[in-house]
Amino acid sequence: MRIGFPLLAASLVVIGASLSSALAQTGFDRHGGDYVIFPVRNGDPAVCAARCEHDVHCRAWSFSYPRTATTLATCWLKNRVPPRQEDKCCVTGVHGAGVIEQRKGALEPSIDRVGGDYRNFDTASDAEGVACKAACEADNKCRAWTYVRPGYIAPTARCYLKDRLMPPRAKPCCISGVVR
């Protein structure tokens, strides 16, 4: 009976390690094994993950944020699990893993999330974009926000509310955050 317990404990450790490495991750891509490619009009990687979950042939997926203002986000479903490679353009995962978005905390200083805007307005100038964040939190449609410091786009500070998540880009003009 005691011999079985160490074997069971070792098995649980191996299972736990394999599950943690299987989670979908932001900042990685998987090359190869593509059998379905489609645009994701709302720019949400969860759409790609859900499509993989409902496709019996899908073993892994990669989602790419739009690289230019004129392109759409794209999803690649894969019939095998290629090794993941670091690439800030993308989110990738395996069948059954879902999406895990990295969070940097409530504020993302010096980060701009270009695109996905459904509303923008002049706002009070402050060091952390408090009014912009509050406007996003109060609006159920808002998933993320970007506060642009005065002097970058206009003489006044500007707030951009977003209905889809866009990739973070390092820019000193801005403070961003993800709400939902």
Model confidence over 71-122: pLDDT tens digits? Answer: 788 999 999 999 999 887 888 999 877 665 544 457 888 889 999 999 999 9
Q: What domains lie within the chain, and their CATH numbers?
A: 23-94 (3.50.4.10), 108-178 (3.50.4.10)
Arithmetic mean of pLDDT, 126-140: 92
Contact (CB, 8 A) for 129 and 147: yes
Q: In whole angstroms, give the CA distance from residue 82 to residue 32.
A: 6
Structure-token match 């645009």, residue found: 39
Q: Tokens at residue 164, please?
A: 């889809």
Q: Tokens at residue 138, please?
A: 């109060």
In whole numbers, what is the pLDDT of the chain averaged over residues? 81
Residue 6: pLDDT over 70: no
Count of CB atoms within 10 A of residue 78's CB? 23
The answer, as to whether pTM is greater than 0.75, is: no
Q: 18-22, 44-48, 72-76, 137-141: lowest mean pLDDT where? A: 18-22
Count of CB atoms within 10 A of residue 140's CB? 8
Pick from 10, 57, 61: which is nearest to 38 by CA?
Answer: 61
Arithmetic mean of pLDDT, 133-138: 94
Contact (CB, 8 A) for 109 and 170: no
